[in-house]
Structure 1
Amino acid sequence: MTQPSDPDRRRPPNDGPKAAARNRAALIAAAREIYAQQGLDAPLSAIARRAGVGQGVLYRNFPDRAAVATAVLEENVRQIEQAAAVEGATFEDVLGVLTWHLTESAAFIGLLHAERAGPRSGDLRERALDLSGRVERGLRGHLPEGHPLGGADDLMLAVAMVSAAATGPTRADRSRRALAAWRLLDVEVGPVRPHEG
């Protein structure tokens, strides 16, 4: 049975590119939340549901699982790079932003352990290694001369150790454990917060 048309009822306007940008941002935010709860192997359908869009919209924005994970990881890394680019930023400041991302994003922790990825995840592994290298460059650019983490592999080994400690059911638990791990390594960390800029 067809509904009678109501001349006063109009279709909502098509926002075109604005809707596409909103959908993409919603998908990335949803993926970050779902990955934090379920890890990188979470079903893509759960991400679409959390974002409030259909799976077709998800696949228009991200052709596969690797593209979704890469978009989330890219945002994490971009914030760390932006924090590192702030004039007058210190190593402790950048570590604070990095630590915030460790407590917020299981996907980001997976990035920092990319070398463990199996051969099946080739493209994602290569992309993750590139992103991990960008994190290291952002941190190393502020590492004071003579710092205990100045050795060739020491910095990212310490980050990987702290990321492994950043576990717990709540953000507060994860943050507490990450900061405790930094203290055990005798490394000072600035305020644990996202980069605002």
Structure 2
Amino acid sequence: MPAERRPNRGPSAAAGNRAALVAAARQVFAANGYDAPLSMVAREAGVGQGSLYRHFPDRISLALAVFEDSVSELEALAAVPGTTLDDVLALITEQTIASTAFITMVSVPARPDPRIIELRDRVAKVLEERLGEARRAGLVRADLTSDDLVLAVGMLAGVLSKVPASERVDKAERLWVLIRGGIDARPGDGPILRQI
């Protein structure tokens, strides 16, 4: 149920309105995806659309405020000694189960905004650091790249966005079984597709 619209308290309400908008956007994006109407976010936050656009002039600005925490959480995990690629992929999967919108935003090249590219590059850097260790340990294909992993997570998000939230954990586990078949190291690894 949307929050009741608050009375306009002018500039003194700015910080509270911004926090309410970010919290509402997190919920709306999780439930309805990245392309959910921004009017839904304003209603959920209990503010007018004018307030939304004063704080966030476009969808990307709002999404960046929402998903900055997700990227920071990934970076913090990756900084912990002993963190593996599997640990990072597990956290990304948890974040994707909670909200497919984040992965949609960073993995879809049709949105070439430099702010999204910077966020995507931060995720790719975390993946690349752990991927290098996994390659050296012989755990993944030698030709696997961080872009491949972003693509795999994007496919995961695409599927999870189409199933009810109650089924996402089971579906994510099954998808990773299938995806891991293509990324894990195996004797005689070669191109996945036959040469034609």
- Structure 2 length-normalised TM: 0.71
Over 3 Å counting, the alpha-carbon distance change for 1:186 and 1:106 in structure 2 is closer
Q: What pairs up with 1:14-53 in 2 under 5 angstroms?
A: 16=12, 19-53=13-47
Note the aligned Cα RMSD (angstroms). Answer: 2.8
Q: CA deviation at 1:46?
A: 1.1
Q: 1:74 — aligned with what?
A: 68
Q: CA deviation at 1:50?
A: 0.6
Letter matched to residue 155 of structure 1: L
**2:140 pairs with 1:148:** yes
Query: Structure 1, residues 74-95: CA drift from partner, whole Å, max 9, x if none?
Result: 2322221122122332222221
Q: Is the 8 A contact 1:103 1:175 kept in 2?
A: yes
**2:172 pairs with 1:184:** no
Letter matched to residue 110 of structure 1: T
Q: Is the 8 A contact 2:71 2:123 kept in 1?
A: yes
Q: Is the 8 A contact 1:35 1:105 kept in 2?
A: yes
Q: CA deviation at 1:15?
A: 9.8
Which structure is richer in relative contact order (CA contacts within 8 A, separation 6 or more)?
A: 1
Q: CA deviation at 1:122?
A: 4.5
Over 3 Å counting, the alpha-carbon distance change for 1:43 and 1:154 in structure 2 is closer
- Rounded to whole Å, the distance in 2 between the matches of 1:36 and 1:171 is 9
Q: Is the 8 A contact 2:103 2:153 kept in 1?
A: no
Q: Is the 8 A contact 2:18 2:55 kept in 1?
A: yes
- Structure 1 length-normalised TM: 0.71
Q: Is the 8 A contact 1:39 1:107 kept in 2?
A: yes
Q: CA deviation at 1:159?
A: 2.1
Q: What pairs up with 1:1-197 in 2 under 5 angstroms?
A: 16=12, 19-115=13-109, 117=110, 121-123=111-113, 126-143=114-131, 144=134, 145=136, 146-148=138-140, 151-152=144-145, 153-186=147-180
What fraction of aligned residue pairs are identical, expressed as a percent? 44
Q: CA deviation at 1:109?
A: 2.5
Q: Is the 8 A contact 1:44 1:65 kept in 2?
A: yes
Q: Report the 3-state secondary structure (helix = DSSP H, G, I; strand = E; otherwise coil) of the residue aligned with 2:161.
A: coil
Q: Report the 3-state secondary structure (helix = DSSP H, G, I; strand = E; otherwise coil) of the residue aligned with 2:47.
A: coil
- Rounded to whole Å, the distance in 2 between the matches of 1:112 and 1:122 is 10
